[in-house]
């Protein structure tokens, strides 16, 4: 709550941000269903809950995933190598362009897109066999 008081943010947005930060999907859904009006209510309700020390298997990066065809992609910045939960960039609005963050278009129509061409090499997508 201290951090929330140091920045200018609505109570609703702070509450939503706290709920989105709950790492356990089931608990996060329960918090969303509960419909907390204030961040302090969320913190009060969850203060005694202890999460297990292990991360879900989907978050564990094995040697197979690192070297194989399955790469981890961030749903916030669209970069490879980390999850959105670990992303250091500012949170992208849902539906915004991955390239520049604009709500006017998607990355396929982005003028700031780093790809020189919109023609994709199918062999590079499939992992050049």
The domain ranges of the chain are: 2-46, 54-91, 96-129
Q: Which of 20, 5, 56, 14 is nearest to 37 (CA)?
A: 14
CA distances from 99 to 41, 52, 71, 83, 122 (A): 37, 36, 19, 17, 21
pLDDT at res. 54: 56
Give the span between the Cα atoms of 127 and 105, in whole angstroms. Answer: 28
- pLDDT by 10s per residue, the chain, length 129: 555 556 677 888 888 888 888 888 888 899 889 888 888 898 888 888 877 765 555 555 554 455 554 578 888 877 888 888 888 888 888 788 877 888 888 878 888 765 544 444 444 444 444
């Amino acid at each position: 709550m201290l951090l929330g008081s140091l920045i200018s943010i609505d109570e609703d947005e702070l509450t939503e941000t706290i709920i989105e930060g709950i790492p356990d999907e089931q608990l996060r859904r329960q918090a969303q269903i509960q419909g907390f009006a204030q961040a302090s209510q969320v913190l009060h309700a969850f203060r005694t809950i202890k999460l297990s020390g292990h991360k879900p298997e989907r978050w564990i990066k094995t040697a197979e995933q690192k070297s194989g065809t399955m790469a981890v992609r961030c749903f916030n910045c669209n970069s490879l190598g980390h999850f959105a939960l670990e992303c250091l960039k500012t949170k992208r609005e849902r539906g915004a362009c991955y390239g520049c963050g604009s709500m006017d278009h998607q990355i396929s129509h982005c003028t700031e897109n780093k790809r020189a061409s919109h023609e994709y090499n199918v062999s590079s997508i499939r992992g050049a066999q």
